[in-house]
Structure 1
Amino acid sequence: MIFSKEYVGYLARQTVKQLMAEKMIHSEKPAVLNERVAEGMIEELSLEDRINDEVRVILEAFQDDMRKTGASYPEMFKKVKAELARKYKAVL
């Protein structure tokens, strides 16, 4: 993830604060809401990391075939990552 968890927590607090100020949401327990928003943001922001890990596992399984055919690892990484992003309907 490109942001620290502390920064994501800050973003979540500011988002909740702004939404409450604009009366778009209401909560009796803003601390709980801040925590839930932060968890959701962390989950979404870490999606690319999880996709990258899955790509590495896939390419490791096909490592011998790639060597035999002379396929470029970086090129294959990009292709598999794009395919998984499409599969998960992720915007990276």
Structure 2
Amino acid sequence: MIFSREYIGYLAQRTVKHLVQAKMIQTEHQALVEERVTQAMIEEMSLEDRINEEVRVILEAYQQEMLKSGAQYAEMFKKVKGELARKYKAVL
């Protein structure tokens, strides 16, 4: 993940605070909203990590074929990652 969990928590806190001040949301339990926003942000930001891991598993399964055909790992990684991003409808 690009950011630490603490920083994501800080971002969520600031986001909720801004939304409340702008009267875009109302809540009596700001800490609970901040926690839920934090969890949602962590899940979204870790999506790329999960996709990268899935790409590694896929490429490991095709390692022998890639060696025989002379395919470059970095190039194949980028292609498979793009396909998985489309599959999961992710914006990376």
Give the TM-score normalised by structure 2.
0.98
Shift of 1:77: 0.2
Could you tell me how far apart the structure 2 residues matched to 1:15 and 1:78 are? 33
Runs ≥4 residues deviating over 6 A = none
Superposed CA RMSD: 0.5
Letter in 2 for 1:13: Q
Paired position in structure 1 for 2:69: 69
Where do 5+ consecutive residues of structure 2 fail to align? Answer: none
Give the TM-score normalised by structure 1.
0.98
Could you tell me how far apart the structure 1 residues matched to 2:74 and 2:19 are? 42
Could you tell me how far apart the structure 2 residues matched to 1:13 and 1:77 are? 35
Q: How does 1:74-89 map to 2 (within 5 A)?
A: 74-89=74-89
Query: Aligned to 2:6, what secondary structure does the other structure show?
Result: helix
Paired position in structure 2 for 1:5: 5
Once the two structures are superposed, what CA deviation does each residue of 1:47-67 show, in whole Å capped at 9, x if it has no partner? 100000000000000001111
Once the two structures are superposed, what CA deviation does each residue of 1:3-32 show, in whole Å capped at 9, x if it has no partner? 010000000000000000011101111101
Aligned identity (percent) is 70
